[in-house]
Amino acid sequence: MPTARRGLAGMLVRRGGERMLVDCGEGTQRQLLRSTVGLIELPEIFLTHYHADHYLGLPGMLKTFALRGRDVPLVVHGPPGLTDLFAGLQRIFGKLTYPIELVELRDGDVLDRGEYRIVVFRVSHGVAANGYAFVEVPRPGRFDVDAARALGVPEGPLFGRLQAGKAIALAGGVEVRPGQVLGAPRSGRKVVLAGDTAPAATVLEVAGEADVLVHEATFAEEESERAEETAHSTATGAARLARAAKVKMLALTHLSNRYFGPEILREARGIFPETVVPRDFDIIDVRFQERGSPRLVKAGARTTREEAEPHGEHGAGGGGGGPRRGGGDPDDPGVGGDPVGASPGGRAASGGAG
Ligand SMILES: [Zn+2]
Ligand SMILES: [Zn+2]
């Protein structure tokens, strides 16, 4: 369920100029409008499964696109059952101005995007449910310009050939191999979005050494029985899995509405310190390894526009929007959140496409 402060499932993956929405809970289009991203003409959407909290935002968003006269095609991916789901949703959103392609994805499917792959894996949620891993291919090693010059390679197209991993022959017949001027290949980034799931071996396997694992923690350990019955995870379960997978950062989402955040964070951090509990409009900046670890940018996607509107959002306290218990942990860097004083706007995207 949503709370006054938290919307339903919906995450945007940005890579260079690409934008991919994963899940689209009720209210997602408005959250996008309120963010620095805006309600852009998303080219593709990935659904993890068909529980209402993950797709009810779709009909409204698809309708808005149509009202704006969108003509760019939209691809919606999801586990088996997507076609049936849309047969039902169609009655709500009616005729659209743009084509929709539905792609059902199963465990083991891989979408090859050149510089990265999207790996589809099954999770453990009692219904057909996919997780998605975004895995970049390794990047070529750094090109050592000085070494190339010292070997007598003239600047220009031959540099490019070496950078592309090809051997070249110099005027005198001397061969220069890429290994002489290129450093070791640099690892790409890996971001794993597990969706709703009980702790699962499939997630553990795919999340090995991931930069970021986004995992649900619907409950705290005191409700572990309930978590088991409903095929969800506790903070403890997610943290144990993250520790076993040796990920760099664990981001916990999908908290039950009885939790505010800090209690989930504390529990998880006792087991896996590199845990964060992002809030709506937070960004996780996934940097290339040589540039540092992933980091949580609080309110990184929140716009100040609405604060400037005279009749805009109510801000603190309006409509009883505050947390029900305590004030959270504003000093805790792991709980995303207090937008006050955070500078907005595009400062962090998700790292360069490199
Ligand atoms: Zn679910
Ligand atoms: Zn859910």
Residues 349 and 16 sit within 8 Å (Cβ to Cβ): no
The mean-pLDDT minimum among 83-87, 201-205, 300-304, 334-338 falls in: 334-338
CB atoms within 10 A of CB 284: 22
Give the pLDDT confidence of 247-300 residue by residue, as tens digits: 999 999 999 999 999 999 999 999 999 999 999 999 999 999 889 999 999 999
pLDDT band for position 116 (cuts 50, 70, 90):
very high
**Whole-number pLDDT of residue 171:** 86
- For residues 177-208, one letter each, b for 16 or more C-beta atoms within 10 angstroms of the residue's C-beta and e for the rest, the string is ebeebbeeeeebbbbbbbbbbbbbeebbebbe
Q: Which residue, among 49, 58, 52, 107, has the nearest Cα to 78 in the 3D structure?
A: 49
Residues 320/321/327/328 CA torsion (nearest 10 deg)? 150
Positions marked active-site: 53
Residues 337 and 329 sit within 8 Å (Cβ to Cβ): no
Ligand 2 centroid to Cα of residue 54, in Å, is 6
With a CB cutoff of 8 Å and minimum separation 6, the contacts of 314 are 321
Average confidence score pLDDT of the chain: 89
Ligand 1 centroid to Cα of residue 65, in Å, is 26
Q: Which residue, among 296, 287, 289, 302, has the nearest Cα to 346 in the 3D structure?
A: 302
> Which ligand sits closest to the CA of 9?
2
User: Would you mind telling me the total number of residues written for the chain in this entry?
Assistant: 354
Residue ranges near ligand 1 (ion) with Cβ within 5 Å? 51, 196
> What percentage of residues in the chain have a pLDDT greater than 90?
81
Give the pLDDT confidence of 308-353 residue by residue, as tens digits: 455 544 433 333 333 334 344 444 557 765 433 334 333 333 433 3
Q: Quote the DSSP letter at residue 62.
A: H
Ligand 1 centroid to Cα of residue 53, in Å, is 7
Q: What are phi and psi of 6, to 5 degrees?
A: -120, 130
Segment 236-253 mean pLDDT? 98
Ligand 1 centroid to Cα of residue 126, in Å, is 9
